[in-house]
Amino acid sequence: MADQLDITKVAMIGCGSMGGGMALLFAESDIAVMLEDPSEKTVDSLIAKANQEGLGHRVEKHEDYKDLCEKLGSPKVLIFSLPHGTVGDSVVEGLHPFLDRGDIIIDASNEYWQNTQRRQGKLVAQGVYYIGMGVSGGYQAARRGPSMCPGGEERAVNMVLPLLKKICAKDKKGRPCVGFAGVGGAGHFVKMIHNGIEHGMMSAISESWQIMNACLGMKYDAIGEELARWNAHGELKGTFLVDIGVQICKQKNREGGHVLSTVQDKVVQDVDGSEGTGIWSNTEAVRLHVPAPTLTAAHYIRIASADRAQRVHARKTIHCHFPQEKIVHSEVERRAFLEDLRLAVYEACLAAYIQGINIIDKADAENKWGIDMGTVIQIWRAGCIIQWDALADMLEEHFNVHGTDENRNLLFESKFADELNKGFAPLKKVVGKGVEVNAVIPSLSATLEYMKYAANTFLPTSFYEAELDYFGKHMFDLKSEPAGEAITGKHHFEWKPA
Choose among 249, 415, 432, 225: nearest CA to 340.
432
Nearest Cα neighbor of 81 from 129, 33, 9 is: 33
Which three-class secondary structure state does DSSP give residue 105? strand
Catalytic residue among 60, 111, 191, 284: 191
User: Distance (Å, rounded) from C-alpha 111 to C-alpha 133?
Assistant: 9
User: Are 81 and 110 within 8 A, CB to CB?
Assistant: no
Of 56, 57, 46, 96, which Cα lies nearest the Cα of 76?
96
Task: Show contacts of 90-99: CB within 8 Å, 24+ apart.
Answer: 91/13, 92/119, 92/122, 92/123, 94/65, 95/65, 95/69, 96/126, 97/66, 98/65, 98/66, 98/68, 98/69, 98/70, 99/69, 99/123, 99/126, 99/128
What does the alpha-carbon distance between residue 216 and residue 415 come to, in Å, rounded to a whole number? 33
Catalytic pick from 36, 198, 275, 284? 198
Spell out where 40-164 has E strands.
Answer: 59-61, 77-80, 104-107, 129-136, 147-151
The helix/strand count (H/E) of the chain reads as 19, 7
- CB count in 10 Å sphere of residue 419: 19
Q: Where would I find the H helices in 368-441?
A: 373-379, 389-402, 414-436
For the question of residue 198 being annotated catalytic, the response is: yes
333 is catalytic: no
Query: By C-alpha distance, which of 47, 49, 70, 69 is closest to 60?
Result: 47
Contact 55, 32 (CB under 8 A): no
**Rounded distance, CA 178 to CA 133, Å?**
10
Question: From edge to edge, which strands make up the β-sheet containing 147-151?
Answer: 59-61, 32-36, 9-13, 77-80, 104-107, 129-136, 147-151
- Backbone φ and ψ for 479, nearest 5 degrees, come out as -60, -25
- What are residue 35's DSSP bridge partners? 12, 61
Beta carbons of 32 and 8 less than 8 angstroms apart? yes
As a whole number of angstroms, the distance between CA 174 and CA 143 comes to 18
Q: Decide if 224 contacts 212 (C-beta within 8 A).
A: no
In angstroms, rounded to a whole number, what is the distance separating the alpha carbons of residues 140 and 18? 8
Beta bridge partners of 59: 33
Q: Which of the residues are catalytic?
A: 191, 198
